[in-house]
């Protein structure tokens, strides 16, 4: 089984995160920020992961530290759970509508972290009481921890909730595709990833 458990304790957060890449979409998430719990649950469900996250953070300030650190831990868990990455498809992409919104994610589990984040239609400045930049920072931390090349595009939408929901469903589907065991060896003409 491709599993990992990560803990992280700092002066800002205390996190315990378990990930099973070969799960069934079972998810228990408590970040202290309900909207983030919803987004992570969507991602795990659409990827087919089992995900258990507990985060106690300095929410009296805002959700920034909590979500950034959860992104770091989730990325580290994904990287650890992949193991040697032999046999994975490596690349995944998905585009999912949510009512009037359309988001797209393209990713490569290459071992080389990079985030491209484009709001072709800008998110509202505040979503669920938090600044929109929180989501870019979460995705940056996640891609860095997972050593993943991640491209996120918000094509259009009117409602911030719908726009982010389309992105997190796309992220789950793209991860599920990229992590499928579909071949022998490492998916690289050079014979290694990184």
Query: Does some domain include residue 185?
Result: no
Distance separating alpha carbons of residues 15 and 30, to the nearest angstrom:
10
Could you tell me the pTM of the whole model?
Answer: 0.94
At residue 185, the pLDDT reads 67
**57 inside domain:** yes
Assigned domain for 188 exists: no
Average pLDDT, the chain: 95
Give the CATH number, domain containing residue 89: 3.30.230.40
Residue 188, pLDDT above cutoff 60: no
Cα-Cα-Cα-Cα torsion 161, 34, 138, 135, nearest 10 degrees, comes to: 20
Does residue 191 lie in a domain region?
no
In a domain, 187, yes or no: no
Least confident of 13-17, 50-54, 171-175, 182-186: 182-186
Question: Is 183 domain-assigned?
Answer: no
Q: Indicate whether 21 belongs to any domain.
A: yes
Does the structure show a pLDDT above 70 at 189?
no
* Rounded Cα–Cα distance for residues 25 and 169 (Å): 12
Domain limits at 36? 3-178
Report residue 81: phi and psi, to 5°. -65, -30
Classify residue 172 as exposed, middle or buried by CB count within 10 Å of its CB (0-12, 13-18, 19+): buried
Q: What is the pLDDT of residues 142-168, one digit of tens each?
A: 999 999 999 999 999 999 999 999 999
- Please give the pLDDT value at position 186: 64
Residue 81 pLDDT: 97
**pLDDT the model gives residue 39:** 98
Number of domains present in the structure of the chain? 1
Is 82 part of any domain? yes
- Is residue 7 pLDDT above 90, yes or no? yes
Contacts of 84 (CB under 8 A, 6+ apart): 186
């Amino acid at each position: 089984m491709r599993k990992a458990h990560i803990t992280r304790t700092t002066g800002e957060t205390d996190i315990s995160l378990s990930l099973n890449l070969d799960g069934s979409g079972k998810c228990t998430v408590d970040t202290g920020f309900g909207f983030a719990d919803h987004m992570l649950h969507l991602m795990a469900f659409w990827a087919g992961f089992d995900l258990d996250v507990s985060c106690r953070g300095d929410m009296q300030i805002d959700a920034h530290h909590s979500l950034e650190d959860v992104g770091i831990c989730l990325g580290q868990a994904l990287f650890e759970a992949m193991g040697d990455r032999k046999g994975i498809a490596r690349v995944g992409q998905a585009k999912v509508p949510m009512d009037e919104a359309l988001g797209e994610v393209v990713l490569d589990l290459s071992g080389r972290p990079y985030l491209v984040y484009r709001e072709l239609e800008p998110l509202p400045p505040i979503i669920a009481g938090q600044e929109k930049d929180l989501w870019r920072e979460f995705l940056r931390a996640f891609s860095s921890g997972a050593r993943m090349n991640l491209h996120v595009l918000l094509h259009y939408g009117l409602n911030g909730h719908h726009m982010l929901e389309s992105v997190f469903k796309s992220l789950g589907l793209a991860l599920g595709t990229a992590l499928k065991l579909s071949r022998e060896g490492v998916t690289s003409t050079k014979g290694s990833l990184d």
